[in-house]
Amino acid sequence: MNIFPLNIKNLNYMSKDKKILKDINLITSEKKITIIAGNNGSGKSTLLKILHGIIQHTSGTINWGEIPVHEVRKKQSMVFQNPILLNRTTFENIVYVAKRKNIETNESVDKIIKQLNLESIINIESKYLSGGEKQKVAIAMSIISNPKIIFLDEPTSQLDPVYKNEIENIITSLSEKNTKIFMTSHDIAQINRIGKEIIFLDDGEIIFHDKVKDFINEKGNSIIRNYVNYG
């Protein structure tokens, strides 16, 4: 299933008479981690949700290689900034997703639990988990179905350095196993550590789309320069 290139043409999104995304045009074949960055309110989370299909864009087209959008949708998952878990144990949360995705639960769930070191919290109700633990469970739920694409909306923004490092390692390892990652982040050090390419949005428009190292060294655009210097 070749999802590349991702081709976005004239994409617009309006909410309550406000243009959130303005004429987004983009072609990318980057297979590892694409960072979507921008100041607050620039539209990065909205773009992520539109790519995932949980928000419908107002106009424009999105094409994933030659694959029909509804087929790609089945191969995607998303992790949110505030991890959303069901009011159940860690195990039951993972099993819930596995069943909805028609996955043979026993082996796959055990594998994910080991992969993400969730053994110690497997029988704990989600409401008693720490922020980092919740985020790990949310990632486990998102990867149980072996998705081709994962969207991560600031997955480490509320985590301490230890959990941040652990989650980054998980994300990097997923990208190395041919999972395409789209991730929003404000953390320049993190973007530099794990990002391969970056899409930078300002007020709903793409003002930069290239390699992360070029973004870090960008001198011409004052918005990007400020973002990099203060990020």
Partner 1 sequence: MFSNIIETAFHLIFTLDKDLLEIISLSLRVTMSALVISIIISIPFGAFLVFYKNKFQSAIILISNTLMGMPPVVLGLIIYTLVSKKGIFGFLDILYTPTAMILAQTLLITPIIISLTYEEVYKKNKEINLLLDSLNLSNFVKLKTLIYECRFALVTVTLTGFGRASAEVGAVMIVGGNINHFTRVMTTAIAFETSRGSIELAVALGLILIFISLLITLLIRSFRRLK
Residues near partner 1 (CB under 8 A) are: 52-54, 73-74, 77-78, 80, 84-87, 96-97, 100-101
Q: Which residues contact 3 (CB under 8 A, 6 or more apart)?
A: 64, 65, 67, 72, 75, 148, 149, 180
Minimum CB–partner distance for residue 6 and partner 1 (Å): 18
Minimum CB–partner distance for residue 127 and partner 1 (Å): 9
Minimum CB–partner distance for residue 171 and partner 1 (Å): 17
| Cα–Cα distance measured from residue 68 to residue 77, given in angstroms and rounded to the nearest whole number | 17
Matching residue, tokens 């144990």: 89
Helix, strand, coil % over all residues of the chain, rounded to 5: 40, 25, 30
Please identify, using beta-carbon distances, which residue of 52 and 148 lies nearer to partner 1: 52
Minimum CB–partner distance for residue 80 and partner 1 (Å): 6
| Cα–Cα distance measured from residue 79 to residue 59, given in angstroms and rounded to the nearest whole number | 25
Minimum CB–partner distance for residue 77 and partner 1 (Å): 7
Please identify, using beta-carbon distances, which residue of 74 and 225 lies nearer to partner 1: 74
| Cα–Cα distance measured from residue 6 to residue 29, given in angstroms and rounded to the nearest whole number | 6
- Which residue spans within the chain are E strands per DSSP? 6-15, 18-28, 33-38, 59-64, 76-79, 149-153, 180-184, 197-202, 205-211
Q: Yes or no: say if 180 and 64 are a contact pair by the CB < 8 Å rule.
A: no
Continuous segment of H or E residues that includes residue 112: helix 105-115
Please identify, using beta-carbon distances, which residue of 77 and 175 lies nearer to partner 1: 77
Cα angle 4, 8, 14; round to 5: 145
Minimum CB–partner distance for residue 100 and partner 1 (Å): 5
